[in-house]
Amino acid sequence: MSPPTLMISLTRLNGDKFYFNPIYIERIHCNPDTTITTTQGKSFVVKDSGEAVIKDLKRFYREIGLVRIVNKAGDEDEK
């Protein structure tokens, strides 16, 4: 089964996979488990490493075009 559009795949500690809209991720804390805090203040712990979650977040932002917007804004600041 392919992931829903605009979602990333995560795995709960019990092994259950679920999909989450990464727009709502505010913070990722790794010590040693990966805890994700949402913009609504809810937290959940996942098996996925912090590095894997960040890699998926970068892919997501690239796919929706936010990485290009951030890069362009940075270029303007350098002029």
Query: Among candidates 66, 13, 62, which has minimal Cα distance to 36?
Result: 13
What residues form DSSP beta bridges with 29?
35
In this prediction, residue 55 carries a pLDDT of 92
Q: Is the pLDDT of residue 62 over 90?
A: no
Rounded to an integer, what distance in angstroms lies between the CA atom of residue 79 and that of residue 76?
A: 6
Q: What are 29-57's pLDDT values in tens digits?
A: 998 899 999 999 999 999 999 999 999 99
Q: Cα–Cα distances in Å, from 42 out to 1, 19, 26, 50, 67?
A: 27, 16, 10, 17, 26
- If one compares 34 and 63, the residue with the highest pLDDT of the two is 34
